[in-house]
């Protein structure tokens, strides 16, 4: 791989590389990239050995195999190059039709050709970082004795009570069978009941935690929210650990440790990609007014996360901070905080992180009315042991809670929130047989990638984004 050759450890050896041409200069110098690194390797060919027809086939995007001697480079910009003695064109790329010519392309344009954007420097860097973060997450949990669980993608339960779910069916939508009272006759459907794509693997992960003590899921989840924002996707990946014999403090500690571990891993393994993304971000921000620019460069911001303990405070304390803020008093928030019980919006979360505390924040003890049925009630009867981690530029990146382990209280909450207990007997059995204190959280993987890469749109950190009106590729 090119990444290995660029270390210079194999100078003088005959080597073979495969990759795609980025540029071809003076009928002599080919910049080749194979995706293993953001850097290209220079191939030097003797154009006298090739006919014009062959030389004209070397264009941006052409797949090439080259064999030759790895030598120290005399030119600027690279330490080594390959003096080619055998060149094979594996796949042509018509320069009249290939959309990735060597020039600057907008992110919007690249979204339209997401199947080719991996070949650009920006997206090569993003997806190598995504790969490292994914590996780091598995390594983090594996090293700590967690069992990796694959929870169902097709489910009959709505873990969040959100109701915004994609329906799964094999029924003929042009002739839907109905019951005598005019309802959809799901008995004729594949699963013989209404099913959806999952919004969370949490409920099933809880079942695993009640046997293995520590489990985690890492898989796709789906929300049918008609939300066209830079922070929402219809299909995204979630990491959801569940830990038995643990309370909300254990939950917060685990989440903070995971975030710091994955960021540290990426800094150690993807520095060249991060340096490129940092420069890209600096160039992009030059177009913005001074007050809209990031206070820290990308790598400084990532190290800042590692070097600081996350600020922990209750929802009630956060409401007091927001109520006293100039933004709220002068009604500069889009959603003005009127008092306790308000559902915090992204603008409030980012104010707490970016303006007030100037570091990541963990908010705890939210009003029960704005949280899910499974969260453990506090003794005040008004709040639950929930926790959200808020990051600069992102807002909420983690949402979790201590789960309600007492059957009677959980049944009361389900009744209060119209969650059908008769369909959830499998879940309630964990409270009937050997119930124990347990906690967990969900980390939106794309939001983590967004933060680490410094990108501003979540559609640019997943290979093929799904959002309202778009299911391309």
What pLDDT, in 10s, does the model give residues 337-390?
999 999 999 899 999 999 999 999 999 999 999 999 999 999 999 999 999 999
H/E run at residue 288: none
What pLDDT, in 10s, does the model give residues 172-204?
999 999 999 999 999 999 999 999 999 999 999
Average pLDDT of the residues in 26-33: 96
Say whether pLDDT at 35 is over 60: yes
Q: pLDDT category, 213, cuts 50, 70, 90?
A: very high
Average pLDDT of the residues in 100-122: 93
Neighbours of 29 (CB within 10 A): 14
- What confidence score (pLDDT) does residue 102 get? 86
Q: pLDDT category, 295, cuts 50, 70, 90?
A: confident
Q: pLDDT category, 11, cuts 50, 70, 90?
A: very high
What pLDDT, in 10s, does the model give residues 316-327?
999 999 999 999
197: three-class secondary structure by DSSP: strand
Confidence (pTM): 0.94
Compute the radius of gyration of the chain from its Cα atoms.
Answer: 27
Question: Structural domain boundaries of the chain?
Answer: 2-102, 119-164+199-310+359-460
Name 86's bridge partners.
Answer: 67
Q: pLDDT category, 161, cuts 50, 70, 90?
A: low
Asked if residues 446 and 461 have their Cβ atoms less than 8 Å apart, the reply is: yes
Residue 413 and residue 461: Cα distance in Å, rounded? 37
Listing from the earlier edge strand, what are the strands of the sheet with 235-244? 147-148, 214-222, 235-244, 438-444, 395-402, 383-391, 361-367, 311-314
Q: pLDDT category, 160, cuts 50, 70, 90?
A: low
The DSSP line for 107-137 is HHHHHHTTTTGGGSHHHHHHHHHHHHHHHHH
- What confidence score (pLDDT) does residue 72 get? 94
Asked if residues 65 and 88 have their Cβ atoms less than 8 Å apart, the reply is: yes
- What confidence score (pLDDT) does residue 77 get? 79
Domain topology for 119-164+199-310+359-460: BirA Bifunctional Protein; domain 2 (3.30.930)
Alpha helices in 308-391, H assignment, sequence order: 315-324, 326-329, 346-350
Asked if residues 310 and 362 have their Cβ atoms less than 8 Å apart, the reply is: yes
Q: pLDDT category, 418, cuts 50, 70, 90?
A: confident
Average pLDDT of the residues in 288-294: 80
Residue 366 and residue 385: Cα distance in Å, rounded? 7
Average pLDDT of the residues in 83-104: 94
Q: pLDDT category, 332, cuts 50, 70, 90?
A: very high
- What confidence score (pLDDT) does residue 225 get? 87
The DSSP line for 369-428 is GGS-TTBPBPTTSSEEEEEEEEETTTEEEEEEEEB---HHHHHHHHHHTT--GGGGHHHH
Do the domains at 2-102 and 119-164+199-310+359-460 have one common CATH topology? no
Say whether pLDDT at 153 is over 80: yes
Say whether pLDDT at 49 is over 70: yes
Q: pLDDT averaged over the chain?
A: 94
Which residues 6+ apart lie within 8 Å of 318 measured at CB? 344, 348, 352, 361, 363
Q: Evaluate whether the domain defined by 2-102 bears CATH number 2.60.40.10.
A: no
Average pLDDT of the residues in 208-213: 98
Percentage of residues in the chain with pLDDT exceeding 70? 99
- What confidence score (pLDDT) does residue 76 get? 80
- What confidence score (pLDDT) does residue 162 get? 56
What pLDDT, in 10s, does the model give residues 233-277?
999 999 999 999 999 999 999 999 999 999 999 999 999 999 999
Average pLDDT of the residues in 107-117: 94
- What confidence score (pLDDT) does residue 170 get? 96
Alpha helices in 85-201, H assignment, sequence order: 107-112, 121-143
Neighbours of 57 (CB within 10 A): 18
Q: What are phi and psi of 407, to 5 degrees?
A: -60, -45
- What confidence score (pLDDT) does residue 229 get? 82
Asked if residues 230 and 265 have their Cβ atoms less than 8 Å apart, the reply is: no
- What confidence score (pLDDT) does residue 168 get? 95
Percentage of residues in the chain with pLDDT exceeding 90? 87
| Most trustworthy range by pLDDT among 36-40, 291-295, 468-472 | 36-40
């Amino acid at each position: 791989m090119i990444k290995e050759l660029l270390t210079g450890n194999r100078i003088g050896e005959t080597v073979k590389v495969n990759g795609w041409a980025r540029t071809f200069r003076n009928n002599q110098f080919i910049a080749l990239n194979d995706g293993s690194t953001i850097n290209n390797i220079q191939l030097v060919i003797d154009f006298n050995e090739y006919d014009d027809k062959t030389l004209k086939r070397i264009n941006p995007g052409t797949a090439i195999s080259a064999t030759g001697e790895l030598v120290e480079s005399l030119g600027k910009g690279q330490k080594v190059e390959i003096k080619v003695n055998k060149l094979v064109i594996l796949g042509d790329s018509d320069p009249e039709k290939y959309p990735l010519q060597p020039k600057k392309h907008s992110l919007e344009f690249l979204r339209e050709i997401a199947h080719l954007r991996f070949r650009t420097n920006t997206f090569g860097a993003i997806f190598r970082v995504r790969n490292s973060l994914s590996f780091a997450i598995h390594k983090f949990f594996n090293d700590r004795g967690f069992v990796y669980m694959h929870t169902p993608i097709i489910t009959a339960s709505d873990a969040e009570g959100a109701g915004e779910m994609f329906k799964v069916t094999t029924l003929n939508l042009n002739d839907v069978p109905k019951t005598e009272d005019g309802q959809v006759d799901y008995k004729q459907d594949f699963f013989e009941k209404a099913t959806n794509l999952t919004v969370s693997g949490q409920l099933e992960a809880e079942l695993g935690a009640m046997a293995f003590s520590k489990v985690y899921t890492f898989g796709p989840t789906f929300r049918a929210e008609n939300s066209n924002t830079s922070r929402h996707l219809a299909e995204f990946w979630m990491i959801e650990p569940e830990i038995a014999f643990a309370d909300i403090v254990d939950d917060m500690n685990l989440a903070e440790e995971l975030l710091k571990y994955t960021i540290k891993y990426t800094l150690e393994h993807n520095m060249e990609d991060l340096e490129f993304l940092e420069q890209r971000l600096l160039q992009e921000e030059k177009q913005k007014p001074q007050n809209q620019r990031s206070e820290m460069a990308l790598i400084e911001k990532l190290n800042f996360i590692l070097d600081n303990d996350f600020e922990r405070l209750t929802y009630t304390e956060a409401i007091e901070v927001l109520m006293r803020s100039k933004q709220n008093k002068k009604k500069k928030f889009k959603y003005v905080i009127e008092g306790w019980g308000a559902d915090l919006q992204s603008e409030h979360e980012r104010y707490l992180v970016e303006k007030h505390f100037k570091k990541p924040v963990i908010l705890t003890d939210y009003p029960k009315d704005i949280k899910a049925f499974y969260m453990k009630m506090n003794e005040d009867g008004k709040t639950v042991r929930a926790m959200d981690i808020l990051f600069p530029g992102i807002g909420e990146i983690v949402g979790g809670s201590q789960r309600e382990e007492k059957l009677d209280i959980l049944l009361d909450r389900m009744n209060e929130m119209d969650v059908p207990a008769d369909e959830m007997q499998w879940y309630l059995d964990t409270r009937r047989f050997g119930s124990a204190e347990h906690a967990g959280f969900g980390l939106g993987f794309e939001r983590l990638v967004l933060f680490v890469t410094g990108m501003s749109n979540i559609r640019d950190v997943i290979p093929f984004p799904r959002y309202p009106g778009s299911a391309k590729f």
